Amino acid sequence: MEDLPLTPETLNRVLSRLSSREQELLKLRYGLGFDVAEVAEQMGLGSSQHVRQLQRKALANLTRLLLKESMDSHGAIDRLHDDDIARSRHIAVSEVIANIRTLTPELIQHLKTHHDQIDSIPPDVLEHLVAEFFAGWGWDEVRLVGRSSETSADILAGFYVPNLNSRIRYFVEIKRWRSRIGVEIIDQVIGAMVAERPRFGWSSAIIVATGGFKNIHKYKAEELSLIGIQLKDKNDLLRWLSDYRPSPNGLWVPREN
């Protein structure tokens, strides 16, 4: 069965089948980027918990309708095998996630049980997710700087060492690539970290590559460690995700960061 392309027409058609309240909530949350509290106030729902309950129901209905749309488009409802149904559902959910533009606690919880869909989230949402991990570990200085013209880093992650009266800052680079990262990217990060050190005080750099890394003959692992470069792949990302503990207030790093 061929994949169903998620065109604006398809998405609008499916959204129109939801209740008016579900449509309004999804548009506020994922179209305009409102947080849970803002949606509660805008829709007069009373509490953030009520918003989350309605949001879970709306996303479940949207997934079900996208799945039905996918099956109907091929005229094969009665002929699908179980593996076709599972694959079609995966396609529909992955495409919905690929169109999400804001990190939410609900999305993080979903990814905790659907590791394969972490490859579907947009790069800027992945950057926010990684920033959440650092903040969740207790690092007191975590900023999303990927859109800043002053640095080549995607995330600034730092913490204060009180006994030494000093601050440690990491240059964090995120690569959501399907292919493996080569030595040229490592050289670029090293160059940027060194060049920006007088301005930002970078202590080390971390490169997170979802596609992993090529065999790098230029550097041995201990050499990269000595010059302050750490390489992290999808396995590290999933381990961080599994260990993640949410903030009592929703997200450790706010959307406005």
Domain boundaries, the chain: 8-102, 124-243
- CB neighbour burial string for 174-199, b if at least 16 within 10 angstroms, e if fewer: bbbeeeebeeebbeebbebbeebeee
Domains 8-102 and 124-243 share a fold: no
Model pLDDT, residue 201 = 96
Please provide residue 218's backbone torsions phi and psi, each rounded to the nearest 5 degrees: -70, -35
Instruction: Name residue, tokens 């992650």.
Output: 157
Query: Which alpha helices (DSSP H) does the chain contain, by range?
Result: 8-15, 20-26, 36-43, 48-72, 82-98, 105-113, 123-136, 183-200, 221-226, 234-243
**For residue 18, what are its two tokens?**
């939801």
**For residue 227, what are its two tokens?**
């010059």
**For residue 170, what are its two tokens?**
């990491």
Model pLDDT, residue 148 = 92
Query: What is the DSSP-derived secondary structure letter of residue 2?
Result: P
**For residue 185, what are its two tokens?**
């990217």
Cβ distance 156 to 131 under 8 Å? no
Please provide residue 173's backbone torsions phi and psi, each rounded to the nearest 5 degrees: -115, 130
What kind and span of H or E run contains 163?
A: none
**For residue 45, what are its two tokens?**
């729902």
136: nearest Cα among 105, 97, 167, 100: 105
Record: fold of 8-102: Arc Repressor Mutant, subunit A (1.10.10)
Per-residue pLDDT of the chain (257 residues), as tens digits, is 334 445 666 667 777 788 888 888 887 777 666 777 888 888 888 788 888 888 888 877 777 676 666 545 544 434 444 454 445 455 555 666 677 788 888 889 889 988 888 988 889 999 999 999 999 999 999 999 999 999 999 999 999 999 999 999 999 999 999 899 999 999 999 999 999 999 999 999 999 999 999 998 899 888 999 999 999 999 999 999 999 999 988 899 986 65
Model pLDDT, residue 80 = 42
Please provide residue 165's backbone torsions phi and psi, each rounded to the nearest 5 degrees: 55, 45
Instruction: Name residue, tokens 């939410």.
Output: 104
Measured CA to CA, the distance from residue 35 to residue 46 in angstroms comes to: 14
Model pLDDT, residue 74 = 45
Model pLDDT, residue 174 = 97
Model pLDDT, residue 190 = 96
Instruction: Go through the chain and tell me how many residues it has.
Output: 257
Residue 158 CA from chain centroid, whole number: 20
Which of these CATH numbers, 3.40.1350.10, 3.40.50.740, 3.40.50.300, 3.40.50.150, describes 124-243? 3.40.1350.10
Sequence-distant contacts of 247-252: CB under 8 A, at least 24 apart: 247/135, 247/136, 250/35, 250/36, 250/104, 250/105, 251/103, 251/104, 251/105, 251/132, 252/132, 252/135, 252/136, 252/142
Measured CA to CA, the distance from residue 73 to residue 6 in angstroms comes to: 12
Helix (H, G, I), strand (E, B) or coil at 167: strand
Measured CA to CA, the distance from residue 235 to residue 210 in angstroms comes to: 8
Model pLDDT, residue 78 = 43
pTM, two decimal places: 0.67
